[in-house]
Structure 1
């Protein structure tokens, strides 16, 4: 049980930017980190705050996982391209939340192996990753009205490009989230069912009543011109939808998908070389062959087959070409 003194402990992160003054401020979240190569060193997490008068606040983040790059690319671009006079309200931009992971091209932190998106609410006196989570939980999220966290598949997954929201108990909040997801206007829009929502940034934001939108915009540990374009257009659309940035939303046709149950996920019961029979975005019906996993330790053995549990669209798949037992083979989402 957390003590009262622990709950009131101050987070050591110090922002070098202004949150309440009008203007454009570029700086860092300065997290002290004593280590072998720097006894009094700090981790410097880039941040931009743009504020102009009264209005809503949008908190825009990427790099929650360090090997997902559409968010960082779109948000580093946004940080230097917005003019103050086109903003009404406040925009807080953190292009790489888990900065140690981002700098190391890893999903998790090289310092403490922390998965930031499974660490909320964090601890002010915990590990580096726990301190970052706590600062977002207790300082940044309370400021926000709209929260956008840009994800992609990283090195081990690949997705059709979609914006996502979740089913929530508060249906008014869910409707606001869905409207913001639709404003992002990715080629696909997903009512997402998480494998495990405990400790997620998504859950922390939603429990505070925020309008929260997430994405999966590709994968493979890199970007494409198309995936970055979707991210950049979507961020601006969301800011226009929120009434923070002037302009007209640039929408595209978006296919609405749903994940009604756990049978949307297909998990591998074996390790081996994976052979897909369906490409991302392909239509499947229940029983269709999705993939085969070949024993890569010897020849002469028939592969294990993995088939769709439901009708739908292949929305996600494992990446790259070999797979371990327990990995997700595929995600099949239903058309709405």
Structure 2
């Protein structure tokens, strides 16, 4: 297998705080010998564990980049036990285009793992993280929100894993993050995900969904910044006391939590995020967009729970995820 062409422009091991890039050669029409330059900060303090911290896995999600830029700016090596590898704009081409997938190759980074060293730009990024950076890490935090098409209750989450010890460590880190909601997440499609690749390597993994709509709010940015510091304190990499507020633990026990739009059209929401839901409760109406006078299609809850996520734009296409329920953990 060929070597991955990505190279850091700074040492990943030298003590101190350094800012640089992950440099990926990329020949294209406007730059024959050009490169994709992914911003990178590495902070190495006293001996200890390594945290790999990423945002903008999808380029239209902003809470992670805000929290990671702040961390890279504010924290000095003298405050760190171990090593922080900070990548605010994981999928840099998608971030600069404010798009979910890369405009370079139309690949979704979070479905591209384990990647390929001789693949497209996104596949090379995935491979470098999978084979070079993730193996260095003890703790991995990957920030997400809903982007332009979804809106979420602000939560940190862990996944159901085969290894109970690893799952318990991930849950403890999620609880330490202390988002307003914490969730045991059942992914709708886990194939090729960064989450799956990281967990397969036995790492402690925390991910989030901290809002959506293709922007950040003051509240969700605060949650991201506070949660990041909390989980690094929990991991022994920063000192001090965590900032703790009440948090509700949720879980997704089955696939009935997901509700798919059966038709395309104009959404009339009938429930808001955080609302308690009972079985067969109407969640939304979908109205025709090409005529008047037609009966709307009503989507009913398949189970009880709390409305944890919803489609964000006012128009929906058949097959889109319209609503997601979660239930308080028993």
TM-score (norm 2): 0.99
Summarize deviations over 1:134-168 as a string: whole Å, max 9, x none: 00001100000000000000000000000000010
Could you give the per-residue CA deviations for residues 1-56 of structure 1, whole angstroms, max 9, x where no partner exists? Answer: xxxxx2xx210001012111110010000000001110000000000000012101
Give aligned pairs, total: 329
The equivalent residue for 2:174 is: 181
Question: Residues of 2 paired with 1:35 and 1:160: CA distance?
Answer: 40
Q: Give, in whole Å, the separation in 1 of the partners of 2:286 and 2:27.
A: 45
Separation in 2, partners of 1:40, 1:274: 47
Structure 1 Cα separation of the partners of residues 320 and 301 of structure 2: 16
Q: 2:187 aligns with which of 194, 200, 203?
A: 194
- The residue that corresponds to 1:3 in the other structure is none
Q: Distance in 1 between matches of 2:290 and 2:65?
A: 39
Instruction: Return the offset for 1:85.
Output: 1.3
1:152 aligns with 2:165: no
1:245-256 correspondence runs (5 A): 245-256=238-249
Give the Cα–Cα distance (whole angstroms) in 1 for the partners of residues 179 and 65 of structure 2.
17
Question: Is residue 38 of structure 1 aligned with residue 31 of structure 2?
Answer: yes
Deviation at 1:269, TM superposition (A): 1.1
CA RMSD for the aligned pairs? 0.5
Provide, for residues 82-125 of structure 1, a one-character-per-residue CA deviation record: whole Å limited to 9, x for no partner.
Answer: 02211110000000110000000000000000100000000000
How far the C-alpha of 1:286 sits from its partner, in A, is 0.6
| Mapping of residues 124-135 of structure 1, within 5 Å | 124-135=117-128
- Secondary structure at the counterpart of residue 263 of structure 1: helix
Paired residue secondary structure (1:141): helix
Once the 2 structures are TM-superposed, how far is the Cα of residue 76 of structure 1 from its aligned partner?
0.9
Superposition map of 1:1-336 within 5 A = 6=1, 9-336=2-329
- For structure 2, list consecutive stretches of 5 or more residues without a partner in the other structure: none
SS in 2 for 1:175: helix
CA distance in structure 1 between the partners assigned to 2:112 and 2:276 by the alignment = 35
Q: Which aligned segments of 4 or more residues in structure 1 are displaced greater than 6 angstroms? A: none
Distance 1:251 1:268 in 2: 37
Question: Normalising to structure 1: TM-score of the pair?
Answer: 0.97
Paired residue secondary structure (1:90): strand
Q: Secondary structure at 2:327's aligned position in 1?
A: strand
